């Protein structure tokens, strides 16, 4: 493998490493954002949906909007407007609406699925929580809508009336869902958070620190090599000194030759009487 091929291989390795690093960083940022949003949602429902650039993630706590009921409604009404639904444990993507003015500007209509501040019953007690149901009636002038879960509509549950939701209680509008059943519950586990969030972040940080130290060492080594290379002025000075030394040596050599040439030999010396 020649030098040109080695350069191509090194360049390819650098590109692959950069791509992997970027993808890993993006993945970790998305997971971190999701975890932060989930933690913020648990703190105070009244403050609205915590979001990033107007997008929030909400965990589905019940099966009232399950896929099977949305499919039933689509078949009964010969339409697709009820969508695919989402199941308990899924994560839905919601466009956050920060206040009543934003809700009115959005222009809600029958069939839209909204997330609003409501209550859920757990172990016989009511808890403030975000509820996500479908709009079955809109009365914008009066400042409220009626919502109901697809399960109640599909199964004709007559003992559960639609819920009245005021516009200032609406926190966002459903856009899509992430179909990884139980992902939110999985991420809620403390050891999962530690293993899949904290540890990878620490490893990534250590990798970046190691890469920085390695790059710094390489930079310093290159600087030393550059410092060892003489400048033009230094090279010219060295060249002049070498030329002077060479001239001096040549002069010495010429002088020595002349001296030897002038030195009388034994044959030319007169014999003694």
Task: Give strand pairing partners of 138.
Answer: 145
pLDDT digit string, tens, across residues 198-217 = 777 777 778 778 877 887 88
Look at residues 26, 30, 25, 33 and name the one whose alpha carbon lies nearest to residue 208. Answer: 25
Using an 8 Å Cβ cutoff, are 200 and 28 in contact? yes
Q: Which two tokens stand for residue 44?
A: 């105070």
Determine how many CB atoms are found less than 10 A away from the CB of residue 24.
Answer: 14
Residue 135 is predicted with a pLDDT of: 92
Task: Give strand pairing partners of 114.
Answer: 133, 173
Look at residues 61, 83, 70, 75 and name the one whose alpha carbon lies nearest to residue 174. Answer: 83
- Report mean pLDDT in 10-residue bins for the chain, 273 residues: 68 78 74 63 59 78 84 84 80 87 91 86 76 90 90 71 89 81 56 66 77 80 74 71 80 78 61 50
Residue 46 is predicted with a pLDDT of: 55
Task: Give strand pairing partners of 129.
Answer: 118
Parallel, antiparallel, or unpaired: how do β-strands 91-96 and 163-166 relate?
Answer: unpaired
pLDDT digit string, tens, across residues 136-149 = 899 988 899 999 88
**Residue 187 Cα distances to 25, 86, 145, 177, 261, angstroms:** 18, 18, 33, 16, 100
């Amino acid at each position: 493998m020649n030098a040109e091929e080695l350069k191509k291989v090194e360049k390819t390795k650098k590109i692959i490493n950069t791509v992997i690093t970027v993808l890993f960083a993006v993945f970790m940022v998305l997971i971190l954002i999701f975890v932060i949003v989930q933690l913020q949602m648990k703190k105070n429902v009244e403050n609205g949906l915590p979001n990033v650039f107007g997008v929030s993630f909400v965990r589905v706590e019940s099966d009232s909007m399950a896929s099977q009921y949305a499919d039933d409604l689509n078949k009964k009404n010969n339409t697709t407007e009820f969508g695919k639904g989402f199941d308990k444990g899924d994560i839905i993507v919601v466009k956050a609406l920060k206040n009543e003015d934003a809700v009115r500007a959005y222009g809600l209509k029958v069939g839209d699925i909204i997330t609003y501040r409501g209550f859920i019953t757990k172990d016989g007690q009511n808890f403030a929580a975000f509820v996500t149901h479908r709009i079955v009636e809109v009365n914008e002038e009066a400042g409220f809508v009626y919502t109901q879960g697809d399960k109640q509509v599909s199964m004709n549950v007559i003992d559960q009336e639609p819920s009245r939701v005021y516009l200032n209680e609406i926190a966002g509008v459903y856009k899509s869902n992430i179909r990884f059943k139980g992902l939110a519950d999985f991420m809620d586990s403390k050891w999962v958070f530690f293993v899949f969030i904290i540890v990878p972040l620490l490893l990534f940080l250590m990798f970046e620190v190691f890469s920085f130290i390695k790059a710094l060492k390489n930079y310093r080594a290159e600087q030393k090599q550059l410092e060892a290379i003489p400048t033009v002025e230094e090279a010219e000075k060295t060249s002049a000194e070498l030329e002077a030394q060479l001239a001096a040596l040549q002069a010495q050599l010429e002088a020595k030759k002349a001296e030897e040439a002038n030195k009388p030999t034994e044959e030319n010396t007169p014999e003694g009487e």
